[in-house]
Chains A and B, each alone.
Chain A
Amino acid sequence: EPEVTQTPSHQVTQMGQEVILRCVPISNHLYFYWYRQILGQKVEFLVSFYNNEISEKSEIFDDQFSVERPDGSNFTLKIRSTKLEDSAMYFCASMRSGGEKLFFGSGTQLSVL
């Protein structure tokens, strides 16, 4: 069964460093998303991406965050200057078309020290 793949599974970084989280969405999907989950808290929407542009972003997704689809298969989330409070599990998700089911990857655990 096709799945959303995320790498790395764990990422440790120093505060102020840039990190790039990588995702390979399901191949025939057109809509791509990043969510995050701080330990013990709800899964929160960060950003949606369609047709090579951001469709919607949350208040969390400030200027330190950016997304990119550099080629036909990868989807990345960049955090320019990480803060302690960015420590969380980051989930990539994809959807084939609007109003359909959203499928999540296994996540990247980001730890900012």
Chain B
Amino acid sequence: QKEVEQDPGPLSVPEGAIVSLNCTYSNSAFQYFMWYRQYSRKGPELLMYTYSSGNKEDGRFTAQVDKSSKYISLFIRDSQPSDSATYLCAMIGEDSGNTGKLIFGQGTTLQVKP
């Protein structure tokens, strides 16, 4: 089983739709969960950062972590064409917090059509 699994998509939605992006993982030691946005040929840009289980909201973005199911989600409300990008989930264990060894998912490519 892969350590972090993420459906690569592509996912195409109309402008204004609610988007749901998900990752599953196998390592129960993961404690920090992140979502990055990556535009073509650019570096990952941090969107959301969550510690342990729970929800976190920032504007149109909501991150959810369910450690019991080893499942994390990112919701985008009122999606815009500018949200079109690849979304990467990433995670790290508490003992690797200093080494910064993030484990990334494959990334889901999102296209929001006007």
Contacts and interface: CB of A to CB of B under 8 A. Distances in A.
Interface string B85-103: 0001010001011111111
- Chain B's interface size range is 20 to 34
Interface residues of A, number: 28
A4 to B, nearest CB: 8
A89 B88 CA distance: 16
B46 A56 contact: no
A56 B95 CA distance: 12
A101 to B, nearest CB: 5
B95 to A, nearest CB: 10
A98 B43 contact: no
A42 B43 contact: no
A12 interface: no
A43 B101 contact: no
B42 A106 contact: yes
Interface in A27-74: 31, 33, 35, 42-45, 48, 50, 55-56, 58
B43 A101 contact: no
Given A43-B88, A43-B90, 19 more contacts: A4-B43, A31-B100, A35-B102, A42-B105, A43-B104, A48-B101, A55-B100, A58-B101, A89-B41, A93-B100, A99-B94, A99-B97, A101-B34, A101-B46, A102-B100, A102-B102, A105-B43, A107-B41, A107-B42
17 contacts: A42-B104, A43-B90, A43-B102, A45-B102, A55-B98, A56-B96, A56-B101, A99-B97, A101-B34, A101-B46, A101-B49, A102-B34, A102-B100, A102-B102, A104-B43, A106-B42, A106-B43
**Top 6 closest A-B pairs, CB basis?**
A98-B98, A99-B97, A104-B43, A56-B99, A43-B104, A48-B99
Interface of A: 4, 6, 31, 33, 35, 42-45, 48, 50, 55-56, 58, 89, 91, 93, 95, 98-99, 101-107, 109
